[in-house]
Amino acid sequence: MKRRTFLLAGLGTGGALFLGWALLPPRQRLVGSTLPESGGTDTGGKAVALNGWLTIAPDDTITVVVPKAEMGQGTHTALAMLMAEELDCDWARVRVEHSPIDKIYGNVSALVEGLPFAPEADGTLVRGIRWMMAKTARELGVMMTGGSSSVRDCWMPMREAGASARASLIAAAAATWGVAASTCRTEQGAVIGTDGRRLRFGELASRAVSHRPREITLKAAADFAVVGKPMPRLDSTAKSNGTATYGIDASLPNMLYAAVLMSPFGATTAPSVTAAQMAQSRAMSGVRAVVSLPGSRYGDPPALAVVAESWWQAHKAAGALASATASGASAVSTVTVLQDIRDTLRNDDGMPLRFFGDAKKVLAAASRTVDATYEAPYLAHATMEPMNATVRVSNDGAELWTGTQVPGYARAAVAHVLGLDDERVTVHQHILGGGFGRRLDVDYVAQAAAIAKTAPGVPVQVIWSREDDMRHDFYRPATVSRLRAALDADGRVTAFVAHSAGQAPFKAYSKRVGFLLTQSGPDRTSSEGTWDQPYAFPALHASHSETDSAIPVGSWRSVGHSHHAFFVESFIDELAAVAKQDPAAYRATMLQSHPRALRVLQLATEKSGWGTPLAPAPDGRPRARGIALHAAFGSIVAEVAEVSVAADGRIRVHRVVAAVDCGLAVNPNIITQQIESGIIDGLSAALNGELVIEGGTPRQSNFHEYRLLRIDECPVIETHIVLSLDVPSGVGEPGLPPIAPAVANALFTLTGTRLRSLPLRMPSEASS
């Protein structure tokens, strides 16, 4: 039975799933391959699984099985809320655990939304392609946390699982009492009859297994008691008292530790050491072995690994080998790479991603044009928890303990390195000390497997130092973009042409993990934020020229949006200045056909006091406001930044007001936290972020050189959420892209200086 054969009513009216529930595909009927086809199992009088997404224990503990990684974004809490809403359980009895690896937990939304269609694109062809991609995604079953997709991907499955379990519990209670199920209701973890009788979920769970529903009803939004409320995060206590266990906290009997000395970019061999150096390292206290690693297709370079009884011993012994050299290393530098990108931008037309209205022809014929080029540097992920993984190899297979955004790919990497079938590798997923796209890669996992292979039967934990982590990343690619626009006599845009150049991060990533379907055609992540912007232009041409380099690249928080928002929103301000119009009002004229974006813009200007006088900064220097609006991951965010320039030329951001439309706000507190997080992360990149590579090695090695925003530099942040009943959209990343252009636009208003490259640096005090 296909998806279209049952009905999903809108949020405002509630909904029901009818007809042949048991015949639906696995993801829709909510049954995993690890559960029997009856849809549930009594686990020895303990917890009972009513479907592949939750278990109920006799003491009424509800365990929500979550297929997404928790990396600080609050996903575990938000997804548990969806389940709890439809189940009608007691929130105080809810906990979460990571799901097993199974196709039913695959991320469908991220793959469908990765298609190169504008958000508003519709029509038979577009709908057909999206349907086919969804079908393909369900078949692939790739478990992935990324693209701000967790809540929207699980919006229906989690709710359906809760409603399905609730229907089973009601049916079990009705059978026990000999009454019609329609006479029973649920409340706070119990089924209640018309005569006041109650049976707790924990009492009913084992009986509910045999009552599999053929019809379930979802709540209307007006009836939500959990969704939309600022429910406390389920992980706050453990993270506050230090009991939360990250991958780096994995601890097993007889565990050994490994530190690595990795070859530079492009090297074809492990670092070469003298016999004396090797002997010195092996003789150091606690050292068990020094292992040469060839590297793998997953991106881990050739390396030497020191295995010891403690990580510090391994780290010190690896340091004794630090003067080693490797053959084939690249002498690449960011200076030459950026020049290559500029040359490509100038000499290549690029691959079109979206075009209509013959924008280039309109531009060529226009009497009034604006032309500007922008640049953004390489950036490191710099997660607080460095890369780490623990692997134990045995006769039965292997086990992996780590935090990853792609547990299935991590399992496959271990299996590939060890020559095992995937099913012989068990993954113990941990919470992540930051992901930002870095843990979509599994190089550190493959490396751990290769080291553990040399010590069978013993768990080996690999931990990268901060320096390792900074210098062996898959960086956000440096990008250069040329933006051109034609304006009419009233300053209205008649054509918008965007051409960017840089490496293709998703193509590079998919090649590493063996997902080769994406190697042909454009990489939409390279230029997202240009071809999919919300403004209504009569003519648009957006293209990208892909470049190559020895510098490895990957997905960085908000991916292409992270720099293209700076390019586009700075340029929109330039157009407003040429048109001699207020920047917010200028944007509003181009959003008349996009009421959702217009509401966000209006809310940001209202709450920020846009257009009203600003008092001087605490040091007496003048302040100014700048605005930017950006659509990403299904959400729209507008930000207004209040900025000053100190006497020494330092840029200070005093206040940021953000407005966001992310559909229905599942948990307003988590949304606020994520928008604030994106702003702070974005400010770190906008004011400080730059990775400089010389002779094939990054100059920056730790946070003293790769600065993040300090507490005393953090602005006051206000977040305002647009009320909506639309399906939830992403919040983990959309807060980041608008902040750099908002600050740059404020600086232009304040100083008259237009900064077109990141990080933002005033040329001199005189310009202020």
Structural tokens at position 55 = 């278990």
What is the phi/psi pair of residue 368, to 5°?
-135, 110
Any bridge partners for residue 545, and if so which?
Answer: 501
Q: What is the pLDDT of residue 575?
A: 99
User: How far is residue 339's CA from residue 290's CA, in Å, rounded to a whole number?
Assistant: 40
**b/e map 398-416, b = 16+ CB within 10 Å:** bbbbbbbbbbbbbbbbbbb
Q: What is the pLDDT of residue 518?
A: 60
Residue 178 CB coordination number (10 Å): 6
Residue 239: Cβ-neighbour burial (10 angstroms; 0-12, 13-18, 19+)? middle
Give me the CATH topology for the region 3-107+142-241.
Answer: Aldehyde Oxidoreductase; domain 4 (3.30.365)
Structural tokens at position 575 = 């157009």
Structural tokens at position 314 = 């391994």
Smallest CA-to-CA distance from 401 within 243, 245, 250, 260 is with 250
- Second CATH level (architecture) for the domain 348-378+476-767: 2-Layer Sandwich (3.30)
| Cα–chain center distance at 700 | 24
Tell me which H or E stretch contains 487. strand 479-487
| 312 Cβ contact list (under 8 Å, min separation 6) | none
Residue 379's Cβ-side half-sphere holds a number of Cα atoms within 13 Å equal to 32
| 562 Cβ contact list (under 8 Å, min separation 6) | 376, 379, 476, 556, 682, 685, 736, 737
Any bridge partners for residue 499, and if so which?
Answer: 482, 543
Residue 720 CB coordination number (10 Å): 17
Residues of the chain with pLDDT under 70: 1-45, 119, 324, 516-519, 764-768
Give me the CATH topology for the region 247-328+387-463.
Answer: Aldehyde Oxidoreductase; domain 4 (3.30.365)
Q: What is the pLDDT of residue 30?
A: 53
Q: Do the domains at 247-328+387-463 and 348-378+476-767 have one common CATH topology?
A: yes
pLDDT tens digits for 161-191?
999 999 999 999 999 999 999 999 999 999 9
Q: For 154-167, what is the HEC assignment?
A: HHHHHHHHHHHHHH
Residue boundaries of the structural domains of the chain: 3-107+142-241, 247-328+387-463, 348-378+476-767
